[in-house]
Amino acid sequence: MSRLAHPIDATGTATVFHRIGEGSLSLRERRPSSTPRGAVLYIHGATVGSVFYDLPISGYSLLEAGADAGWWSFALDLGGYGRSERPVSMSAPPQSCPLLCTGEDALRDIGVAAAFVLRHTGQDHITLAGSSWGSLTTARFAIQHPDIVRQLILMSPLFGARNPSWQQALATAADPGRLRDDLGGYRWTSLNDILDRWDPEVPNGDFERRRDPAVVRAMFDAEVAADPMAAAVGAFRSPNGTLHELFEVFNGRSLYRPESIQMPCLLVRGAHDLTATEADAAQIHARLGTHDKTWVTIPDAGHFMQAERNAPRLHSAVLQFLRRGS
């Protein structure tokens, strides 16, 4: 089967967008129609921004599923991603651009978003959720701010299990222990780049059974539409500060201590995920400081499970966990 069939025109959604952080950051909001049961803030990973949690296709928006079930749901575009402001330096070639969106930058942006969510909703606490590299930043933020993070959700969680394929992709050829020095401050991601990373996780090459081509196209088109330079290139830009942290964890060097996580924690991983491995999830789960911990594996799913046909199973796992804390 083809990897991607036909494009579609994404339909409008009930999403509201806020400018926060003195206007530099974009935050998506889906508000429940009834009295809110709590507030959830979602943080994306290293490549695709907040649209990953709010795909404009029926049944594929985690924000919509949460709002329909009573949770005030938000998703942040970190600086340099999605609808958030891209620094002027990102207009220069990648090699002329400084390092952008490091872990510390992300923690600062998450703090801005969390403060806004608390003020906007009148809630005392939030549930914090992150996927892939976002699991690293949200875990650290939760450890630093247990006073406002009531529950923690780590999807496609990374930690510190060695990952040879990613080590090789990010390392200097002559010195495998050193990150490539030709990465620059940001990178371009095309649709084929996404599919080339996604396809190896799909057994027997049965791509359309795993994912709806319309959903893949909607996700990519949303990223292109948000990047003012993307249309001319056919690809969108993502900051590379993330890759410095990913190189550490893929080489077995963890960035936080799970023992310091004391709030209820949910781990969700796709069974075929080649980036967030079972070894990563197992290490986190075994070492969590909280006794209130749950590990869910979504069958026939991978690193992009939010955009795969089994996304409803992910939604169900998240909502079941949220209900326990309400």
Has domain 16-325 been given CATH number 3.40.50.1820? yes
- Beta strands 149-155 and 265-270 are parallel
The count of other CB atoms within 10 Å of the CB of residue 125 is: 17
Cα(196)–Cα(191) distance, integer angstroms: 9
Which of 173, 132, 161 is CA-nearest to residue 48?
Answer: 132
Nearest to 198 by CA among 310, 108, 307: 307
Alpha-carbon separation of residue 29 from 140, 230, 300 (angstroms): 23, 25, 29
Sketch the domain layout of the chain as residue ranges: 16-325
From residue 272, how far is each of 59, 101, 172, 206, 308 by CA, in Å? 21, 28, 28, 13, 12
Measured between alpha carbons, how far is 92 from 97 in angstroms, rounded to an integer? 6
Distance (Å, whole) CA 199 – CA 23: 37
User: pLDDT truncated to tens, each residue of the chain (326 aa)?
Assistant: 344 443 333 333 489 999 999 999 999 999 998 899 999 999 999 999 999 999 999 999 999 999 999 999 999 999 999 999 999 999 999 999 998 999 999 999 999 999 999 999 999 999 999 999 999 999 999 999 999 999 999 999 999 999 999 998 899 888 888 888 888 999 999 999 999 999 999 999 999 999 999 999 999 999 999 999 998 999 999 999 999 999 999 999 999 999 999 999 999 999 999 999 999 999 999 999 999 999 999 999 999 999 999 999 999 999 999 998 76
- 252: region left, alpha or beta (phi > 0 left; psi from -120 to 50 alpha): left
DSSP one-letter code for 277: -
